[in-house]
Amino acid sequence: MKEETLQRDTALDQRITVRALESTDMDVVAEIMSLPGVRRGTLSVGYRRPEQLKAWFEKRLESGVSVCATIGGRVVGHAGLEVQRPSRAHCAYLGMAVHDAYHGRGVGMALLQGLTDCADASLGLRRIELTVFADNAPAIALYRKFGFVEEGRSRGYAMRDGVLADALHLARLVDAPRLQAI
């Protein structure tokens, strides 16, 4: 995926740029994943070492795509699509995290735009799935803007702050192009 500038961040008067995530970004990704808001808002376990994230990143590259968003050269979020097993090769699972200090500035939108464009145009994916905490209203609203719909709810899905929390399962389904008769 080539580097693309997708949206202007008016608060900083700098552009949000989406580019391929690189192994050299893992220190910053580890910092982002350990931030209080990211730990609370995602289903990922925080406090992972850069080495652990590098192994995760290399695995994801074998079966998907990973991107990051930068503002002024600083990584402020990351996201990825992990393509499923062969019988579900038309599907991918989405994961995303945005630095606590950059929520509400269009970073998530830029990341999601980059990944959905890649999924549709380059990867040929027809279905993208994700799981989100049921009370994460800003994330759910963003996903809905990109065509994700709720497919189910799991009660007591994950432990958060010492309490079992519900999660929603959302998916974006794109109709497969119809083949024309020759």
Looking at the DSSP bridge assignments, the partners of residue 150 are 170
Is residue 167 scored above 80 in pLDDT?
Answer: yes
Is residue 1 scored above 50 in pLDDT?
Answer: no
| Residue-level pLDDT at 177 | 53
Residues 6+ apart with CB under 8 A from 73: none
Q: How many CB atoms lie within 10 A of CB 176?
A: 10
3-class secondary-structure state, position 137: helix
Convert the pLDDT of each residue in 116-155 to its tens digit: 999 999 998 999 999 999 999 999 999 999 999 999 999 9
Homologous superfamily (CATH) for 4-131: Gcn5-related N-acetyltransferase (GNAT) (3.40.630.30)
Helix axes 137-145, 107-118, angle to 10 degrees: 40
What are the tokens at 3?
């580097």
Mean pLDDT over 40-64 rounds to 79
